[in-house]
A and B are shown apart, each in its own frame.
Chain A
Amino acid sequence: MSKIHVTTKINGEETEYLCQPYDTMLDVLRNQLNLTGSKEVCSSGDCGACSVTLNNRLVCSCLMLAAEAEGKEINTIEGMTKNGNFHILQKKFLEHAALQCGICTPGMLVAAKSLLDKNPSPTETEIRFWLAGNLCRCTGYDKIVRAVQAASDEMKEKA
């Protein structure tokens, strides 16, 4: 079976790769492009640890074929810092102790950023339902929700 040639944009940079028709986006990110910040936890779209955005839409990269990225834009956790500075969400996750083991953190941050991009002032309920696709087994979510609220507040102040 011949491989598929894909041209796409990842974290703002033109990227090319060859993939098998059955390779997932997550396979290619982790095993070819060395972008291991996206985690493989369930491979079934139930946990959100592999969350990325595809043309600004939040997706599980384990449920997406790598070939589908052709001509699209992918953003991953590795693209969240800008010019060596934390995104406000990353800063708030650290300040609010919103991570313990950290394995869900990249996906959680990508999902939270996607929420705030669409809805800069989410209620607690909106945050909880948006993040319901991102499992965390360590924190009980309390500090994650508070960190997202704090990021939302600070982003509004700066806006």
Chain B
Amino acid sequence: MNEMSNKWIGKNTIRPDGAEKVTGRAEYAADTTMPGMVWGKVLRSPYPHAKIKSINVEKAQSLKGVYSIATSKDCVDFPIDSPVILGIQDMRWMSRNVLAKEKVLFHGHPVAAVAAKTEEIAQKACELIEVDYEVLPWAIEIDDAIKGDAPILHDFIKHNNKSSNIAGTLEHSKGNIEKGFKEADVIIEKNFETAAVHQGYLETHACLVSVAPDDKMVIWSSSQGQFMVRAMTSYITGVPQSNIRAIPAEIGGGFGGKTIVYLEPVAAILSKKSGRPVKMVMTREEVMRASGPTSASKSTVKIGVKNDGKITAAKGIFYLQAGAFPGSPIRGAAGCCLAPYEVPNAHTIGFDVVSNRSKVAAYRAPGAPIGAYAVECVLDELAEAIKMCPLEFRLKNAAKEGTQAVHGPKYPKMGYLETVQAALVHPHYKLPLQKFQGRGVASGFWFNAGGESCAQVNITEDGNVVVTTGHPDIGGSRASIANITAELLGIDVGRVSVLIGDTATIGYSNLTGGSRVLFASAMVVTESTNEVINILKERAAQIWDIDKDAIDWENGEARPAGANAGKFKPLSLAEIADKATPTGGPIGAGHQVNTVGAEGGFATHICDVEVDVELGIARVIRYTAVQDVGKAIHPAYVEGQLQGGVAQGIGWALNEEYIYDNKGHLDNPGFLDYRIPVCSDLPMIDTVLVEVPNPKHPQGVRGVGEVPIVPPLAAIANAIYNALGKRFYSLPMSPPKVLERLEEN
């Protein structure tokens, strides 16, 4: 496709779902109602770790207005010691996370649920359920969970042939690490810690589930994947997928946290048992206590360099807290941390540590910010030690096309180097700084993802276009799909309507996550639209009675070409659609593909902070995010992804943390005490979109959503060092911690 001729790709069009969202009409899961609907509430564990000896629901059941009660006895029985794998999740864990079975494993763990006439009655009934617990010792922090006499969460999990809370490891190796460190002139090794942080999506988990007397189930819910909801609900309830229709409501943010189910199977059980549609909406406190977050971590990173700035060896050890069940994002930490660099000798290892906290869920580039934080801070120290500009240092070690990455692949064409070069020449990098101000830089990487996607492109009878895909749109993917379809068909973008299908109206599509949606859906939409164009040419050929190959599709119309050029008046899309019935019937095409070729994304960020030394508050006063975005189909929403990711990274670096009290309860389960960045905390966030097109994608798309949360943690830590001359090895760098360090003098 000729770049210059693009009419819609690269244009900031108005998003198709915009009008509904600015008028309050967009329907999120909690906005949905059904005739005869009742309300469900969850009874949650008051202990961080306890055996469930018995559950007595008699009193609750007899309360007026109570219709049904669910416990783990109503779920499919998955033995705890044999895996039931669905994608990257294990249904024996998921089932026990949704309703506890043998034990409760964290404060807030669901134990039972009630459907009742009102939320108040359901809540009251929950309080009448009698659970006999045998309270067990618990472990919250990583150190407590991995020490010799730690209370064990799952007896059958072994590490080094002993029952352990270390549920798994993941390693990457390259070259000879000992030899590499011997070659180094300077070696720096440091330890780092990060706190658990929540995705902080504003919409709490919600669903409405109706099981009719014929056992057909309809689920309206807010999730990152209606097919994920269908599959997990099917596994946990035993209802076949063909009997479940999962409808994706508009989703009020997910950031990875809505890639699993919490409420849907519970509401399904309650609905089946009560014979009524059941609505469930979590409170913010429930979201904080029992969903998400991402891991707390402890890491050790050691890197060696030559005096000329060449990295000779790198080693990273990462302990990530998984919460109650195995599955922390060690792959993101151990796999992404060295990805921007050409490192000849390396070893990274991640340890998956269970403890008595809520099960972690994916959070934007899962694990990658944790690894990058440690590596990028050590690189900053090394650059200073060898007296090299930190960006020049990164330039010297930058991975490029052909580099064998530590995590495995040999890179195809990619744009890491270009992000560093763009940062170096950006005016921000040269601006003068005042007292107590500092500047830091850091880079980051995310794998990106492909996977299964389906699309259907239909031409309406009046010659317009309806595109259906299977991925919930969180950040504006419908706008990008409209741009691509309009571009390919050569028509005004306003004539393209883009919808998200439910599980009954479009084929299986993997969930919205991994920065995969536009990469994958653009592929299937492109194939479908190209097929539609072929059909349109065939129909024009019939109307004109000439050969189809003698027809061009240009600017939204069929034109006779070659020997026939100029012989017939071009036929518009509308004119061909008008003759669809006599020329062969409805016009449309669909494609379903397991997409491959999603190449990684790289970013380099520059951050300026100013530290209020009286209050210990570090404020970000200037921020520039440079990223290789492949090709920006809708630049404003690409910028939005970068800005949003940076803002979340700033929160992670400076304020956000899960704080537990000495009873093993989360102490800050609300937005007053769990402080995400507010508007007055942030400056404008400048973005530079570097476009090195992905050679394996028809439009050059690379995923863009996740990379931007990877560099900020280190960029901010490095900036604070630059401002104060003090390094922080523990996140968040919140006012109490900063003050403590300032008072050291």
A residues sitting closer than 8 Å to B (CB atoms) are 30, 35-44, 46-47, 49, 76-78, 80-81, 86, 90, 93-97, 99-106, 109, 124-125, 127-129, 131-146
**Docked CA distance A125–B251 (Å):** 30
Decide if B23 touches A78 in the complex (CB within 8 Å): yes
| Known contacts A86-B22, A94-B22; is-contact A102 B252 (Cβ 8 Å) | yes
Decide if A129 touches B680 in the complex (CB within 8 Å): yes
B582 within 8 A of A: no
B646 within 8 A of A: yes
Decide if B23 touches A77 in the complex (CB within 8 Å): yes
B478-510: contact bitstring with A at CB < 8 Å (1 yes, 0 no)? 000000000000000000000000000000000
Decide if B23 touches A102 in the complex (CB within 8 Å): no
Decide if A44 touches B250 in the complex (CB within 8 Å): no
Inter-chain contacts of B30 with A (CB < 8 A): 36, 39-40
| Known contacts A43-B283, A97-B640, A102-B250; is-contact A90 B670 (Cβ 8 Å) | no
Decide if B679 touches A132 in the complex (CB within 8 Å): yes
Decide if A142 touches B284 in the complex (CB within 8 Å): no
Decide if A101 touches B23 in the complex (CB within 8 Å): no
5 pairs of A and B residues whose beta carbons are closest in the complex: A37-B24, A103-B252, A102-B21, A140-B647, A140-B643
Decide if A93 touches B22 in the complex (CB within 8 Å): yes
B201 within 8 A of A: yes
Known: A41-B203, A95-B12. 7 other contacts (CB 8 A): A37-B25, A46-B672, A94-B15, A94-B19, A96-B636, A136-B202, A137-B201
Interface centre among B14, B25, B640, B647 (most CB of A within 10 A): B640
**Docked CA distance A142–B636 (Å):** 11
B residues sitting closer than 8 Å to A (CB atoms) are 12, 14-15, 17-19, 21-28, 30-31, 199-204, 250-255, 281, 283-284, 474-476, 634, 636-637, 639-640, 643-648, 670-672, 676-682, 684-685
**A129 (CB) vs chain B CBs: closest residue:** B680
Interface centre among A94, A124, A137 (most CB of B within 10 A): A137
With beta carbons under 8 angstroms apart, the residue of B19, B202, B283, B677 that contacts A49 is B202
Decide if A104 touches B202 in the complex (CB within 8 Å): yes
**Docked CA distance A129–B682 (Å):** 10
**Docked CA distance A125–B479 (Å):** 31
**Docked CA distance A109–B25 (Å):** 14
| Known contacts A94-B14, A105-B22, A135-B671; is-contact A100 B644 (Cβ 8 Å) | yes
Decide if B684 touches A145 in the complex (CB within 8 Å): yes
Decide if A76 touches B24 in the complex (CB within 8 Å): yes
Decide if B644 touches A138 in the complex (CB within 8 Å): yes
Decide if B14 touches A140 in the complex (CB within 8 Å): no
Inter-chain contacts of A41 with B (CB < 8 A): 202-204, 252, 284
**Docked CA distance A148–B640 (Å):** 16
| Known contacts A41-B203, A139-B643; is-contact A131 B679 (Cβ 8 Å) | yes
With beta carbons under 8 angstroms apart, the residue of B23, B26, B637 that contacts A80 is B23
**B637 (CB) vs chain A CBs: closest residue:** A97
**A37 (CB) vs chain B CBs: closest residue:** B24
Decide if B203 touches A97 in the complex (CB within 8 Å): no
**B687 (CB) vs chain A CBs: closest residue:** A142
**Docked CA distance A37–B19 (Å):** 12
